[in-house]
Amino acid sequence: MSDLHGDDIARFKHVIQIAEKWAKLHNFDALQPPILEHAEVFLRSIGEATDVVSKEIYSFADRNEQSLALRPEFTAGVVRALLSNGLHNHALPLKFFSHGPLFRYERPQKGRRRQFHQINYEIFHKRDDNLLLLEILALAQDFLHDLGISDKIKLHLNSLGNAQSRENFVTELKSYLEKYKSELSDESQIRLEKNPVRILDSKSPMDQEIVANGPKLHDFFDEESRKKFENVQQMLKNLQIDFTIDKNLVRGLDYYSDVIFEFITDALGAQNAVLAGGCYNGLVAKMSEGKADLRAVGFAGGIERMIELMISNFEAPQVMKIGLLPIGNDEIYATHAMKLMRTLQKNHFIIEIFSEKNLKKQLQAANKFDMTFAIIFGESELQAQKYMVKNFNDGTQNEVNFGNLVSFLKKIH
Ligand code: HAM
For the Cβ of 118 lying below 6 angstroms from any atom of ligand 1, the answer is: yes
Strand order through the sheet with 321-326: 350-353, 321-326, 373-377, 386-391, 397-401
pLDDT at 413 over 70: no
Kindly report, residue by residue over 39-51, the tens digit of the pLDDT. 999 998 998 878 8
Query: CB count, 10 Å around CB of 183?
Result: 13
d(C-alpha 250, C-alpha 141), whole Å:
21
For the Cβ of 246 lying below 6 angstroms from any atom of ligand 1, the answer is: no
Q: Determine which residue's CA is closest to atom 14 belonging to ligand 1.
A: 302
pLDDT at 317 over 80: no
For the Cβ of 158 lying below 6 angstroms from any atom of ligand 1, the answer is: no
d(C-alpha 264, C-alpha 175), whole Å:
32
Kindly report, residue by residue over 71-86, the tens digit of the pLDDT. 999 999 999 999 999 9
Tell me the HSE value of 106 on the side-chain side, using a 13 A CA sphere: 18
pLDDT-derived band of residue 384, with 50, 70 and 90 as boundaries? very high
- Please report which residue ranges of 349-398 form alpha helices under DSSP H: 359-368, 379-384
Kindly report, residue by residue over 272-291, the tens digit of the pLDDT. 999 999 999 999 999 999 99
Q: How far is CA 375 from CA 15, 132, 148, 349, 351, in A?
A: 35, 56, 38, 13, 10
For the Cβ of 104 lying below 6 angstroms from any atom of ligand 1, the answer is: yes
- For residue 65, report the distance from its CA to the centre of ligand 1, in Å: 29
Q: Determine which residue's CA is closest to atom 22 belonging to ligand 1.
A: 302
d(C-alpha 253, C-alpha 49), whole Å:
9
pLDDT at 403 over 90: yes
Any idea which of 157-171, 289-303, 306-320 has the lowest mean pLDDT? Answer: 306-320
- Please report which residue ranges of 121-162 form alpha helices under DSSP H: 131-147
pLDDT-derived band of residue 312, with 50, 70 and 90 as boundaries? confident
Kindly report, residue by residue over 216-241, the tens digit of the pLDDT. 989 999 999 999 999 999 999 999 99
Tell me the HSE value of 57 on the side-chain side, using a 13 A CA sphere: 28
With beta carbons less than 8 A apart as the criterion, state whether 16 and 143 touch: no
d(C-alpha 388, C-alpha 76), whole Å:
59
d(C-alpha 142, C-alpha 241), whole Å:
10
| Contacts with 224 (C-beta within 8 Å, 6 or more apart), sequence order | 162
For the Cβ of 143 lying below 6 angstroms from any atom of ligand 1, the answer is: no
pTM of the model: 0.90
Strands in 338-409 per DSSP E: 350-353, 373-377, 386-391, 397-401
Q: What is the model's pLDDT at position 219?
A: 93
- For residue 78, report the distance from its CA to the centre of ligand 1, in Å: 14
Query: CB count, 10 Å around CB of 35?
Result: 13
For the Cβ of 156 lying below 6 angstroms from any atom of ligand 1, the answer is: no
365-368: list long-range contacts, CB under 8 Å, 24+ apart: 365/323, 366/323, 366/325, 366/392, 367/392
pLDDT at 121 over 80: yes
Atom of ligand 1 nearest to the CA of 263: 10
Atom of ligand 1 nearest to the CA of 274: 12
Over residues 291-304, the mean pLDDT reads 96
The pick from 45, 115, 116 for probing ligand 1's pocket by mutation, whose C-beta has the most ligand atoms within 8 angstroms, reads 116
Name the more confident of 262 and 320: 262
pLDDT at 385 over 90: yes
Over residues 403-412, the mean pLDDT reads 92
The pick from 79, 118, 304 for probing ligand 1's pocket by mutation, whose C-beta has the most ligand atoms within 8 angstroms, reads 118
% of the chain exceeding 90 in pLDDT: 79
% of the chain exceeding 70 in pLDDT: 100
Helix (H, G, I), strand (E, B) or coil at 28: coil
- For residue 300, report the distance from its CA to the centre of ligand 1, in Å: 6
Average pLDDT, the chain: 93
pLDDT-derived band of residue 54, with 50, 70 and 90 as boundaries? confident
d(C-alpha 166, C-alpha 159), whole Å:
10
For the Cβ of 53 lying below 6 angstroms from any atom of ligand 1, the answer is: no
- Report the candidate in 160, 122, 154 with the shortest Cα–Cα distance to residue 263: 154
Helix (H, G, I), strand (E, B) or coil at 140: helix
Over residues 98-102, the mean pLDDT reads 98
Over residues 298-327, the mean pLDDT reads 91
Q: What is the model's pLDDT at position 247?
A: 86
pLDDT at 253 over 90: no
The pick from 305, 306, 309, 310 for probing ligand 1's pocket by mutation, whose C-beta has the most ligand atoms within 8 angstroms, reads 305
Q: What is the model's pLDDT at position 347?
A: 93
Q: Determine which residue's CA is closest to atom 1 belonging to ligand 1.
A: 276
Kindly report, residue by residue over 122-168, the tens digit of the pLDDT. 999 998 779 999 999 999 999 999 999 999 999 999 999 988 888 89
Atom of ligand 1 nearest to the CA of 73: 25
For the Cβ of 261 lying below 6 angstroms from any atom of ligand 1, the answer is: no
- For residue 46, report the distance from its CA to the centre of ligand 1, in Å: 12
Q: Cis omega before residue 93 (within 30°)?
A: yes
Atom of ligand 1 nearest to the CA of 52: 3
Helix (H, G, I), strand (E, B) or coil at 207: helix
Kindly report, residue by residue over 4-22, the tens digit of the pLDDT. 998 899 999 999 999 999 9
pLDDT at 313 over 90: no
With beta carbons less than 8 A apart as the criterion, state whether 217 and 229 touch: no
With beta carbons less than 8 A apart as the criterion, state whether 279 and 75 touch: no
Q: How far is CA 265 from CA 13, 241, 243, 309, in A?
A: 22, 16, 13, 9
pLDDT-derived band of residue 271, with 50, 70 and 90 as boundaries? confident
